[in-house]
Amino acid sequence: MSKGLVLVIDDEPQIQKLFRVILTHAGYDMISAGTGKEGLSELVYKKPNAVLLDMGLPDMEGSEVLLRIREISDVAVIMVSVRGQEEVKVQCLENGADDYVTKPFSAVELTARLQAVLRRKTTPGIVDEVFENAGLRLEFNTRAATLHGQPLKLTAIEYGLLTLFIKNAGRVLTMRQILRDVWATDNDEKLNSVRVYLNHLRQKIEADPAQPKRIVNEPGIGYRFNLL
Establish if 208 lies at the interface with another protein (CB under 8 A): no
- Sequence length of the chain is 228
Nearer to another protein, 17 or 47 (CB): 17
Task: Find the binding residues for another protein in span 111-170 (CB under 8 A).
Answer: none
State which of residues 18, 75, 166, 227 lies at the interface with another protein (CB under 8 A): 18
- The SS3 assignment for 114 reads helix
Q: For CA atoms 101, 22, 120, 146, give the dihedral sign.
A: negative
State the Cα–Cα distance between residues 51 and 113, nearest whole angstrom: 12
Torsions phi, psi of 68, nearest 5? -65, -40
- Answer yes or no whether residue 207 interacts with another protein by CB under 8 A: no
Instruction: Look at residue 172 and give its three-state secondary structure.
Output: strand
Binding marks (x or -) toward another protein, 27..66, rule CB under 8 A? Answer: -----------------------------x----------
Residue 189 near another protein by CB under 8 A: yes
Phi, psi of 194 (to 5 degrees): -55, -45
Cβ atoms 124, 167 nearer than 8 A: no
| Comparison of 101 and 227: residue with beta carbon closer to another protein | 101
Nearest distance from C-beta of residue 141 to another protein, angstroms: 27
| CB of 45 vs another protein, minimal distance in Å | 28
Return all residues near 38 (Cβ < 8 A) that are at least 6 apart: 9
Find all residues with CB under 8 Å of 208, minimum gap 6, and list them: none
In terms of CB distance, is 104 or 124 closer to another protein? 104
Single-letter amino acid, residue 185: T
Q: Considering beta carbons, is residue 75 or 221 the nearer one to another protein? A: 221
Binding marks (x or -) toward another protein, 66..105, rule CB under 8 A? ----------------xxx-xx---------------xxx
- Could you tell me the smallest distance in angstroms from the CB atom of residue 38 to another protein? 19
43 versus 90: smaller Cβ distance to another protein: 90
**Footprint (CB under 8 A) of another protein, residues 159-188:** 175, 183, 188
111 or 146: whose CB is closer to another protein?
111
DSSP sequence for 38-105 = HHHHHHHHH--SEEEEESB-SSSBHHHHHHHHHHH---EEEEEEETT-HHHHHHHHHTT--EEEEES-
Would you tell me which residues interact with another protein (CB under 8 A)? Answer: 12, 14-15, 18, 21-22, 25, 56, 82-84, 86-87, 103-108, 175, 183, 188-193, 195-196, 199, 217, 219-220
